[in-house]
Structure 1
Amino acid sequence: MMVVEDEPELAGALCEALTRESFAVDVAYDGGEALEKYAAHDYDVVVLDRDLPVVHGDDVCRAIVAAQRSTRVLMLTAASAIRARVEGLAIGADDYLVKPFALAELSARVHALARRTAPAAAPVLKRAGLRVDQASRTVTRDGRSVTLTNKEYAVLVELLRASGGILSAEQLLEKVWDENIDPFTNTVRMTVMKLRRKLGTPQLIETLPAAGYRIR
């Protein structure tokens, strides 16, 4: 996902809060930068400040809508008037949040929008004795509690959502890490290795050489 906010302190706070929720977050500080990043990446959700320099947030929203992707837009603004909110939604925003707001509410709205970008997934994912409750973010294997880092949890969820399909390392980088990650890193391999160790035996995550990973 991408956060577009010209106030660095607020942008940093939003990025930190959403990263804790296992989102991969890119940040843009003006509308021009946002459009450049949007052209290069496929984002599920864009948190978009309306009053942006270089290119106004309204125009960024129009460009996102015109691209006809599945991206959802949560627009932020300091204007609390109903007319301003109606204008933002009429442009094509999927949701609207007035500053100041609680980070918990922002997170809940982003999660709701993210669920609308893909086919509905069961709130509890199960496979071969593995159980992931996405509401409580708890993981168990054959009744044993498994403690995972945010990245390990996000990788596991993506693999389970693939329903036995193969996800390449590049796809996992795109879904779980942000744009600053080195595309030649071995981070995915190391994360999967730690995940396998924590999930225990028999091994559930299969590596297919030159292809990627899948849950058996």
Structure 2
Amino acid sequence: MKILVVEDDLSIQQSISMGLRKFGYAVDAASDGERALQMVEIHEYDAIVLDWNLPKIDGIDVLRVIRKDKPDIKVLILSARSEVEDKIYGLDTGANDYMVKPFHFKELEARLRALLRRRFIQSDTRLSYGEIILDTALKTVYIQNTPIELTKKEYGILEYLMFNKDKIVSTEEIMEHLWDSSFDGFSNSLKVHINSLKKKLSIFLGEQEVIKNKRGFGYYIAEVPL
């Protein structure tokens, strides 16, 4: 999943970004509201962590523009404003969640996971397909009750495809949601990761093909109308 962190305090911005990357998220960052809106216009994000008090364009004004142009993006406001009236105002303006600084990173990540499940209309922390169980909270994949060792990118690909079961997902969409904006879109990195993922799954599933490709359209998991 791809997250945009909008925070003018660089120490907080870097701390959140590094923490989310350790959990396998693709992360971009912006230090002011103007840059944030530019990035939202160019890139596709699954969620945004948005500070209220930002240079150039205030966070609330950024939120208003996002809600007008891209209403499906999940937005979590992260602010030092702790009054109940501030929380209500932020939520009424269109935020999906609101956290007060100082905060605990594990709670932030858990709230983002909850928002992303809602983004994909998924209430449980676990996804399943046949004998494959994917736990989005533990970032772990099990087959026949045995944990499978996957890289962060392999896990991210499988998670995204399982969130989008019964849908063909284009190569461009996968890369847009799983790599940050500095990624070279012309590399064959995605194909390499998918081939590696398929090999690891085949150890347990044999010739059963879980991840399929429709040439010219993209990848999918499970049966979809073709």
Question: 1:212 pairs with 215, 218, 221, which one?
Answer: 218
Look up the equivalent residue of 1:113 and give its one-letter code.
Answer: L
Say if 1:118 and 1:207 are closer, same or farther in 2 by CA, change over 3 A: closer
1:14, CA displacement in angstroms? 0.6
Equivalent in the alignment of 1:142: 144
Percent of residue pairs bearing the same amino acid type: 36
RMSD, aligned α-carbons:
1.9
Within a 5 Å distance, the mapping from 1:1-216 to structure 2 comes to: 1-120=3-122, 122-200=124-202, 201-202=206-207, 203-215=209-221
Deviation per CA, 1:157-185: give whole Å up to 9, x if none.
12223324322221110121111111111
**Counterpart secondary structure, 2:76:** strand
Partner Cα separation in structure 1 for residue 170 and residue 70 of structure 2:
25
**Counterpart secondary structure, 1:155:** helix
1:91, CA displacement in angstroms? 2.3
Look up the equivalent residue of 1:199 and give its one-letter code.
Answer: L
Partner Cα separation in structure 2 for residue 165 and residue 80 of structure 1:
41
Partner Cα separation in structure 2 for residue 90 and residue 131 of structure 1:
37
Alpha-carbon contact 1:131-1:139 (below 8 Å) kept: yes
Alpha-carbon contact 2:28-2:180 (below 8 Å) kept: yes
Q: Using the TM superposition, name which of 109-118 and 9-18 deviates more.
A: 109-118
Alpha-carbon contact 2:113-2:137 (below 8 Å) kept: no
Alpha-carbon contact 2:44-2:177 (below 8 Å) kept: no
1:151, CA displacement in angstroms? 1.2
| Structure 2 gap segments, 5+ residues each | none
Structure 2 length normalisation: TM-score? 0.87
Say if 1:92 and 1:124 are closer, same or farther in 2 by CA, change over 3 A: closer
Number of residues of Structure 1 aligned to a counterpart in Structure 2: 216
Structure 1 length normalisation: TM-score? 0.90
Alpha-carbon contact 2:127-2:135 (below 8 Å) kept: yes
